[in-house]
């Protein structure tokens, strides 16, 4: 006799170009989240999305977030995803707090927000090679990256997950899909890396495109936007308050001089709710 299938609820959400499948693990917890991510995030055979977000109870914070990529790998942090978590717990009535804390693999993050826009305290960036991690010593600012047929210059840092930011002149026509996967898996990056290609359009705004580790090209990346903002400061292109424009929209990033924390403000939206069969 065939086992009966069960219908499990999910919420489809979006934030500045990233789309997510969110599952409330206070109601139901998947046994194999990596396998579920590969299945449910498929845009041909599943719901489709950039990441699977799982919302749990936490002993250390108000909630705990897990984020899984389409290849099944688990991300340490997702700046756009965590805003969706904040939007979900607020609209689902799981909290009445105006300020919440969310436990992630990159530490506990604090969020403040209105009904649709949230500011995330992303914490302090990690700047040294071993901390990011990158197999280079010291700070990595405008360092050459020698590929087989091209030399680029990169600025690397961690916003809870590793990033390599590369400034290019013709951002719109840069062959991101060619160089993104090459750099993601390059031998200098022991845990792979997210790659942002950027161009400073003024001293207050930067445009970017992103190749996300374990996902590919996406229309937005929250931690990537923070990395681009900081790289633009480190390279002398902008001040510490930066608007980062991505194909999916804009976020505001502030690198506070006093506490060295990075604050990102942007929207989060619910697209629809549904169920999937298991």
Would you please indicate which residues are annotated as catalytic (active-site) residues?
78, 221
Backbone φ and ψ for 45, nearest 5 degrees, come out as -120, 0
Burial class (CB in 10 A: 0-12, 13-18, 19+), 221: buried
Tell me the pairing of strands 151-158 and 140-146: antiparallel
Q: Rounded to whole angstroms, what are the CA distances from 143 to 27, 139, 177, 251?
A: 48, 9, 22, 27
What tokens appear for 24 in the block? 């409330």
What tokens appear for 21 in the block? 């499948």
Backbone φ and ψ for 145, nearest 5 degrees, come out as -120, 105
What tokens appear for 199 in the block? 């161009």
**Closest among 65, 104, 99, 103 to 85, alpha carbons compared:** 65
How far apart (Å, rounded) are the C-alpha atoms in residues 128 and 123?
16
Task: Tokens 């200098």: give the residue.
Answer: 188
Write the CB contacts of 114 (distance below 8 Å, at least 6 apart in sequence): none
């Amino acid at each position: 006799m065939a086992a009966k299938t069960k219908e499990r609820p999910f919420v489809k959400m979006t934030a500045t170009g990233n789309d997510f499948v969110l599952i409330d693990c206070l109601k139901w917890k998947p046994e194999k989240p990596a396998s579920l991510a590969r299945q449910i995030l498929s845009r041909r055979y599943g719901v489709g999305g950039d990441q699977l977000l799982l919302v749990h109870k936490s002993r250390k914070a108000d909630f705990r977030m897990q984020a899984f990529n389409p290849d099944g790998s688990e991300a340490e942090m997702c700046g756009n995803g965590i805003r969706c978590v904040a939007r979900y717990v607020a609209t689902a009535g799981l909290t009445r707090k105006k300020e919440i804390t969310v436990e992630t693999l990159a530490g506990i993050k604090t969020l403040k927000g209105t009904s649709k826009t949230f500011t995330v305290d992303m914490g302090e960036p990690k700047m040294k090679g071993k901390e990011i991690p990158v197999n280079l010593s010291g700070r990595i600012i405008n360092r050459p990256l020698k590929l087989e047929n091209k030399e680029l210059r990169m600025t690397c840092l961690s916003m809870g997950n590793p990033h390599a930011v590369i400034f290019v002149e013709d951002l719109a026509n840069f062959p991101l899909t060619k160089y993104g996967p090459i750099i993601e898996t390059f031998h200098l990056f022991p845990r792979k890396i997210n790659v942002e290609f950027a161009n400073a359009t003024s001293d207050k705004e930067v445009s970017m495109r992103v190749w996300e580790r374990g996902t590919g090209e996406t229309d937005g990346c929250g931690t990537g936007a923070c990395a681009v903002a900081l790289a633009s400061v480190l390279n002398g292109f902008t001040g510490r308050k930066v608007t980062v424009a991505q194909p999916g929209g804009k976020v505001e990033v502030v690198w506070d001089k006093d506490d060295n924390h990075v604050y990102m403000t942007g929207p989060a939206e619910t697209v629809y709710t549904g169920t999937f069969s298991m």
